[in-house]
Copies of this chain bind each other. A is one copy, B any other.
């Protein structure tokens, strides 16, 4: 049994969808960022980083989306969420997810989380002004070089897909013009039609 800690409108959605895709037995617990629950002693005992997602398993607690997504794929191999028997293909999956985690998500975070890296209100404003450029450059690269279609890795749906979908939820809010990334938008629509995605979204926004 797995328990997923998530908050609304966060990257935890990717692992939530993947657990659905995997057919895993799991429960969810919502952390309320508006009440700063992620910094509560109870939650810091789960994840000392004070962030989501975190996943409680029978063996212990896992954090960091790329690691959790790979764990879900490896733990539920029948769902075929990653090319587990091909180290190179698996590395391509992991490379895409690492880019989302360390470059796209970080570019997005400068919209509202500038205090992680700066102190002055003028810097936060400057960062916010640059979000459309920085996030847009990531989506341009994905559109041009990485999204093979119909899924990220081509014909096979993988753990890359819910992770890309999660960030694609935010692109209009990040000031990125959807017209410049038609393949990303088509992928988002394709994802929206999946029962696993509908179920995870319905629960998170209930």
Interface residues of A (CB under 8 A from B): 48-49, 57, 59-60, 62-68, 70-71, 74-75, 87-88, 90-92, 94-95, 97-99, 101-103, 105-107, 110, 116-120, 122-123, 126-127, 129-130, 134, 141, 144-145
Complex: A96 Cα to B123 Cα, angstroms? 30
Contact A87 B74 (CB under 8 A): yes
Contact A71 B88 (CB under 8 A): yes
> What's the minimum C-beta distance from A35 to chain B, rounded to whole angstroms?
23
Number of copies of this chain that the complex holds: 2
Contact A122 B122 (CB under 8 A): yes
Partner among B90, B95, B141 whose Cβ is within 8 Å of the Cβ of A74: B90
> What's the minimum C-beta distance from A81 to chain B, rounded to whole angstroms?
12
* A92 contacts across to B, CB distance below 8 A: 60, 62, 67
Select the residue from A71, A102, A130, A144 with max chain B CB neighbours within 10 A.
Answer: A102
